[in-house]
């Protein structure tokens, strides 16, 4: 029998998700990304982790048994707190490798008509956010261009990790417990609370709007501390759920490991305010961008210690499933089979301009 290629296996397991016509806003279809990323593979033996579906950051071998971790991520959904989010989402991905963030290069694109005052404010915000994380901004690029309709920041962050602490998205093993720190949709809730404030206030009231806006402070969108704790606790793999939310991230983690993730959907933490926002907007919180959450694969014998260590740091965490032989994701709800889609578009991108579901 002819062996099945990884791309074909991806198509069979998850479906090609081919767009009709041109692409809509959001990530490229997973099957296409797998195919494209395979074309970028190289033979440089110093690259331990390179382009691969679901992997959060690259790992490049250095002298002295260390790895350079490199990550590039933009902020495209919102301009609110763009600089702080840029630092956090890139640092989060370094944390999934067990690495401390050290350096950041920034490409900043501004639409025509942007004032010098507005540009200066972004630079102040970048400086402030970098200082909070102990990151040094080492340069980048700044440009006014008609290619964007609002400010867009792109970051390339670097950090270091020892070989013994290096983790990947695909490192889960058969029998590992899937632990989730934080809650689903925190980042998306904050974006909605600021970009659709009037809609939310009309539907849920001023108190709910303020509660959603406060999520940017607590629990916040950083998982740097959680990631470093998990690395210390002996985690086998980590993944940071961003665009496509927890749903996409679980699929990516299972695919990267070549395993099946069995997930109890009713155990996935979702804050009440996030549920309310998603009900009003008619979207699924499990497909909503989720910086502030962290997925961790850890052996059963270390699970309780990991959850306790996170709790001691004030970080809520719970076991939501386990990894087993097979492919894809098997979801359960109330003990019955359920569906957890691989969200090819973040739920926030499905929203119409002026519609609210009451």
Q: Which residue ranges does the chain devote to CATH 3.90.650.10?
A: 177-350
Q: Which residue ranges does the chain devote to CATH 3.30.1330.10?
A: 41-165
3-state SS string for 272-294:
HHHHHHHHHHCCCHHHCCCECEE
| DSSP states along 212-249 | HHHTTTTT-S--HHHHHHHHHTT-SEEE---TTHHHHH
User: What pLDDT, on a 0 to 100 scale, did the predictor assign at position 357?
Assistant: 37
With contact defined as beta carbons under 8 Å apart, do 149 and 111 qualify?
Answer: yes
The C-alpha atoms of residue 91 and residue 176 are separated, in whole angstroms, by: 25
The C-alpha atoms of residue 312 and residue 226 are separated, in whole angstroms, by: 11
Is the pTM higher than 0.85? yes
Give pLDDT tens digits for 236-267.
999 999 999 999 999 999 999 999 999 999 99
Closest CA to 292 of 354, 351, 216: 216
CATH 3.40.50.2300 is right for the domain spanning 41-165: no
Q: Nearest 5°: phi and psi at 5?
A: -70, 155
Q: Would the pLDDT of 217 be above 80? A: yes
With contact defined as beta carbons under 8 Å apart, do 145 and 256 qualify?
Answer: no
Q: Would the pLDDT of 13 be above 70? A: no
Backbone CA torsion sign across 351, 337, 297, 273:
positive
Average pLDDT of the chain, as a whole number: 91
165, burial (CB in 10 Å: exposed 0-12, middle 13-18, buried 19+) = middle
The CATH code that applies to domain 177-350 is 3.90.650.10
């Amino acid at each position: 029998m002819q062996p099945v290629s990884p791309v074909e296996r991806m198509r069979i397991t998850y479906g090609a998700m081919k767009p009709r016509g041109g692409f809509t806003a959001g990530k490229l279809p997973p099957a296409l990304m797998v195919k494209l990323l395979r074309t970028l593979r190289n033979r440089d033996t110093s690259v331990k982790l390179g382009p691969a579906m679901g992997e959060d950051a690259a790992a490049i071998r250095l002298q002295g048994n260390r790895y350079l971790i490199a990550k590039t991520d933009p902020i495209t959904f919102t301009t609110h707190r763009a600089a702080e989010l840029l630092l956090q989402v890139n640092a989060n991905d370094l944390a999934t490798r067990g690495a401390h963030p050290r350096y950041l290069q920034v490409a900043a694109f501004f639409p025509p008509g942007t004032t010098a005052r507005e540009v200066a404010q972004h630079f102040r915000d970048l400086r402030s956010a970098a200082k909070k994380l102990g990151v040094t901004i080492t340069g980048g690029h700044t440009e006014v261009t008609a290619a964007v309709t609002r400010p867009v920041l792109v970051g390339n962050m670097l950090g270091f990790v020892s070989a013994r602490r290096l983790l990947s998205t695909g490192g889960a093993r058969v029998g590992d417990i899937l632990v989730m720190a934080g809650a689903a949709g925190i980042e998306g809730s904050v974006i909605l609370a600021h970009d659709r404030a009037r809609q939310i206030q009309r539907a849920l009231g001023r108190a709910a709007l303020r509660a959603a806006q406060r999520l940017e402070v607590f629990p916040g969108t950083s998982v740097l501390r959680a990631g470093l704790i998990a690395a210390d606790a002996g985690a086998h793999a980590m993944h940071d759920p961003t665009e496509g939310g927890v749903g996409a991230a679980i699929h990516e983690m299972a695919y990267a490991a070549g395993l099946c993730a069995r997930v109890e959907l009713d155990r996935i933490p979702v804050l009440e305010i996030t549920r309310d926002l998603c009900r009003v907007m008619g979207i699924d919180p499990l497909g909503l961008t989720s910086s502030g959450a962290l997925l961790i694969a850890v052996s059963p014998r270390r699970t309780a210690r990991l959850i306790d260590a996170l709790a001691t740091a004030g970080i809520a965490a719970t076991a939501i499933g386990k990894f087993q032989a097979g492919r894809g994701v098997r979801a359960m709800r109330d003990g019955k089979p359920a569906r957890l889609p691989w969200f090819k578009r973040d739920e926030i991108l499905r929203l119409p301009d002026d519609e609210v579901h009451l």
